[in-house]
Amino acid sequence: MMRWILLLFLSPLAFAHRPQPVEEVTEISAPEISHVIGGDLVSGVEAFRIVLPFKEPVALPMEILVPWKLESHRPVFAVVGPGLPTPTAEQAEFLPFAVPEGNGVIIERNDHEEREVYFEQVMRRTMRTSGSLALHLPAASTYEVWIWSPEFTVGEFWFGFGVEEDFSDPEVWDPLFENWDLFGW
């Protein structure tokens, strides 16, 4: 029923990120549109790759969130691609994959002692966020975001990026209903 209500009335007006479930490698076809990529670290050792093929250099905000109740769950993300700083030896050790030759990395360690509690009003979820971080990706190229849990904590996470909304294709809502346990409750 919710699907029809959304499609009939509200999808063009929603201030929300386009939902998508994470896969081992998640290809985002329109990275200039804001997305929220939801996933679940089941064993704590998983590492996910999100592929963002940008046609031009971009600057946009990113953040990673977890359910409010998971106080010690602090998944991190790293943005990997051309024009970013070369990883130090310590960073290379920290990362779940080797940084390809010619690429650099920016790591968001999600290590603020006090994380902001964010109430997501569309789906009514209470979350803890790493905090929004605007990043400059200075090449027209494919960047990757790697998400993992360095402390091997388990639980759900949502990686959000961008602000531009586009819900003109009603099918973009399908992942929300198909993964209600991930984006709902």
Partner 1 sequence: MISTLSLLASLATAPAEASALDADRFSVGLPAEVNLVGLTFGAHPEVLWSPFSPDGSFQVRGSMGLGIGPEMVVVPVSLGLRQVLFPTRRVRPGLGMGLQMPNFFPSGHGFLFRVDTYMEASLDVRVSDTIRVTAAMSPQFGGIVGGFGLGMSARVGVQMDLPDLLTLTSD
Partner 2 sequence: MRYSFLVLFLFACDKSVEQSAACEQWVSCIDARDQLNGVSTNMVRFLPIKTDADGEIIEGQCWGNPEISDLCDKGCIAGLEKMGELYDDLPQECQQ
CB of 142 to partner 2, least distance (A): 15
Instruction: Single out the segment in contact with partner 1 by CB under 8 A; choices: 13-21, 23-31, 53-61, 73-81.
Output: 13-21
Evaluate whether 145 touches 74 at the Cβ level (below 8 Å): no
Q: Which of 59, 102, 113, 119 binds partner 1 (CB under 8 A)?
A: 119
Q: Indicate which of partner 1, partner 2, none lies near residue 185 (CB less than 5 to 8 Å, by partner kind).
A: partner 1
Please give the size of the binding site for partner 1, defined by CB under 8 A.
Answer: 25
The smaller minimum CB distance to partner 2, of residues 1 and 59, is found at 59
Long-range contacts of 2-7 (CB under 8 A, 24+ apart): 2/177, 3/173, 3/177, 6/173, 7/170, 7/173
Q: Which of 164, 155, 130 lies closest to 145 in space, CA to CA?
A: 130
CB of 92 to partner 1, least distance (A): 35
The smaller minimum CB distance to partner 2, of residues 41 and 65, is found at 65
- 3-class DSSP state of 4: helix
Other C-beta atoms closer than 10 Å to the C-beta of 83 total 15
Q: Which of 6, 40, 44, 165 binds partner 2 (CB under 8 A)?
A: 165
Residue 162 interacts with partner 2 (CB under 8 A): yes or no: yes
The smaller minimum CB distance to partner 1, of residues 10 and 45, is found at 10
DSSP element (H, E) containing 3 = helix 2-5
What is the residue whose two structure tokens read 């063009």? Answer: 12
Instruction: Single out the segment in contact with partner 2 by CB under 8 A; choices: 42-50, 57-65, 94-102, 167-175.
Output: 57-65
User: Widest CA span of the chain, in angstroms?
Assistant: 53
The smaller minimum CB distance to partner 2, of residues 40 and 165, is found at 165
Site for partner 1 in 63-92 (CB under 8 A): 67-69
What is the residue whose two structure tokens read 């999600």? Answer: 110
